[in-house]
Structure 1
Amino acid sequence: MDIKQLKYFLTIAREGTLTNASKKLHIAQPPLSYQLKMLENEIGIKLIERTTRKSQLTDAGKFLYNRSEKIVELVETTLKELKDFNKGIEGTLAIGTIASTASILPEKINDFHKLYPKVNFQIREGNSTRILDLLNNGIIQIGIIRCPFDSKNLKYKSLSKEHMLAAIHSNFLSSTKKKKISLIELKNLPLIIHVRFKSMIVDACSGLNFTPNIFCETDDVRSMLTWATTGMGIAIVPKSTVNLIPNINLTYKEITNPNLVTETFLVWLNNSYMSNTMKNFLKNAYLNIKTVDNATALLLRKLFFLIY
């Protein structure tokens, strides 16, 4: 018994006669009658009582009719869903993101969801090192991390560049009107920094002939902002982190130093299987992002090994 025989059987039952069913199916009557006979012989029971005027379902035929409708519908739905998977219309996409860019991802996913509402997501958070581990171990398909990183075995695209901000408690504010602050104004003030940005901050301060007063360094942006809310120090964070925690006690000011800029990248493994869902995500949700050229790639790798 195959799906074609079940479809033939259903059509005969619905049309009432072999003649009408053969016209509906666009096949000759003898082959249709033969298929019905083969089906009855295989299961060993009569399904349709045939008369010169009309075909009538037996009790077994009525049972098979009800069951066949469900079987055929399930098969057709399954085939459609498999084709949808093949086109990337359905599926699950696993993405890893660092906490400091967590506010960016929902917007991107929302844009993609409007195009592919049947795609589901698995989201993992962590620092850049953990995201790359998850990527290399096949737990996620795409990562969102910040530079610097080792670009070996990776493909990547630049998502955005953003200025660093000073998250300042009212204890340290002399003026609340200025939207920007110069790095030199942070001289001698206790700073809370991310280990990933330590070299960049120290170098920028060195260029202004002073050594930063690093009160605390950590690898978690949320912790930095939490510490800053206590008034123990000023956190230097990327612009996209502004809404990570309630900031009742904090004022954010852009640091005007041109060297204090960080870049976010979308990364995935080179020469690995790429699902159509993933291809659609990269194609549709990130049409406007900039592909990193070879020179930039080499610079990223040199920067990574210089710092780490």
Structure 2
Amino acid sequence: MDLRQLKYFLVIAEEGQITSAAKRLNMAQPPLSQQMKMLESELGVQLLERGSRSVRLTEAGQVLRDRAEQVFELLNTTRRELKDFHAGIRGTLSIGTVASLGVALLPAYIREFREQYPQVTFQLWEGDTHRITELLKSGVVEIGIVRSAHDEEIFHSISLPAESLAAAVHRKFGDIITDSRYLSLADLKARPLSIHRRMESLILQCCIQAGFEPEIVCKGDDVRSLLAWADHGVGIALIPRSAVDLVPTAHLHFYELVNPRIELPQTVIWRKQGYVSAQARGFLQKITDIVSGSP
């Protein structure tokens, strides 16, 4: 398996057809098909399910596609790192973030950073904390923004101000809708709740502290899905305060939860080992300045 074969494979995966992939690669179809058969033979797995007009990735093919994308991103990162020695703070910065922070928190940091360094562009990768840490370890991204705990032996970190948990309440639950900005956690007793899977332990602990065991109707990995369910009246979604504007809606009322107030950690992390690009160093310094209140 070499980079040329991986490139061929990725183009086929993107095109969904060997014919159109061959055209895009400026080569004939038979040699391209032969290269894929050689790759499958070498790896000992089937990568493509071939139809009369299209191809579809097998489960093994999907794994190889993900790895191949990371390989080429790592190559691009390496090229950028080498150019950094002479180029200064410019180029592309790859950042991994959990979805809600990528929408609500990150843009403000990006705006302030680009006012000082307008020649920097960005690659954004989203996922849960586990995916972000894996992308950091593999070198696909340089900076991660996560909510959950991280390995302090592997990563440096900057703690951001904690964020409160909010409730997205459909108007069908009219008996608890008020003009207040706040809602007591106890008001959610015997109500169907939708929660982020990684927040389950914290939410359970706080609900017990408030005197009840929560009725959880859904656990998910993306707050946008939880909000979509809540928008259809399927449970009350418990989400980070920054996520309230992720899904346009006229059906939901949003409240910050109190008694007790539930706070979610937010942390910027990066590898202790390995090269840190000029743009990453500049971005980390900007975040440090913002958090400390420095001009």
TM-score, normalized by length of structure 1? 0.64
Alpha-carbon contact 1:194-1:217 (below 8 Å) kept: yes
Instruction: Give 2:159's aligned residue.
Output: 158
Is 1:113 the counterpart of 2:123 in the alignment? no
Q: CA deviation at 1:211?
A: 0.7
Instruction: Give 1:149's aligned residue.
Output: 150
Distance in 2 of aligned mates of 1:234 and 1:151 = 35
Aligned pairs for 1:74-223 (under 5 A) are 86=86, 88-102=88-102, 103-174=104-175, 175-223=177-225
Distance in 2 of aligned mates of 1:248 and 1:140 = 37
Which range is displaced more, 145-154 or 157-166?
145-154
Q: CA deviation at 1:260?
A: 1.1
Letter in 2 for 1:114: E
Letter in 1 for 2:158: K
Indicate the SS of the match to 1:92.
strand
Instruction: Give 1:266's aligned residue.
Output: 268
Cα distance change, pair 189–199 in 1 and its aligned pair in 2 (3 A):
same
Letter in 2 for 1:125: E
Instruction: Give 1:284's aligned residue.
Output: 286
Q: CA deviation at 1:107?
A: 1.6
Letter in 1 for 2:254: Y
Distance in 2 of aligned mates of 1:191 and 1:154 = 34
Q: CA deviation at 1:110?
A: 1.2
Deviation per residue, 1:242-274 (Å, 9 max, x gap): 111112211110001345110111010112211
RMSD: 1.8
Q: CA deviation at 1:159?
A: 1.7
Q: CA deviation at 1:133?
A: 0.9
Alpha-carbon contact 1:87-1:277 (below 8 Å) kept: no
Alpha-carbon contact 2:164-2:256 (below 8 Å) kept: yes
Deviation per residue, 1:268-298 (Å, 9 max, x gap): 01122111111111112431326xxxxxxxx
For structure 2, the 5+ residue unaligned runs are 1-81
For structure 1, the 5+ residue unaligned runs are 1-81, 291-308
Distance in 2 of aligned mates of 1:258 and 1:88 = 48
Alpha-carbon contact 2:185-2:260 (below 8 Å) kept: no
Letter in 1 for 2:137: N
Indicate the SS of the match to 1:160.
strand
Aligned length: 209
Distance in 2 of aligned mates of 1:112 and 1:221 = 27
Distance in 1 of aligned mates of 2:162 and 2:188 = 23
Letter in 1 for 2:222: D
Cα distance change, pair 165–221 in 1 and its aligned pair in 2 (3 A):
same
Moved over 6 A (4+): none
Structure whose CA Rg is larger: 1
Percentage of matched positions with identical amino acids: 41
Q: CA deviation at 1:87?
A: 6.2
Which range is displaced more, 272-281 or 136-145?
272-281
Deviation per residue, 1:143-164 (Å, 9 max, x gap): 0110233333011111221110
Indicate the SS of the match to 2:94.
strand
Deviation per residue, 1:209-233 (Å, 9 max, x gap): 2110011111111111111101110
Instruction: Give 2:252's aligned residue.
Output: 250
Deviation per residue, 1:109-148 (Å, 9 max, x gap): 1111111111111111111111111111100000011023
Alpha-carbon contact 1:85-1:277 (below 8 Å) kept: no
TM-score, normalized by length of structure 2? 0.67
Instruction: Give 1:237's aligned residue.
Output: 239
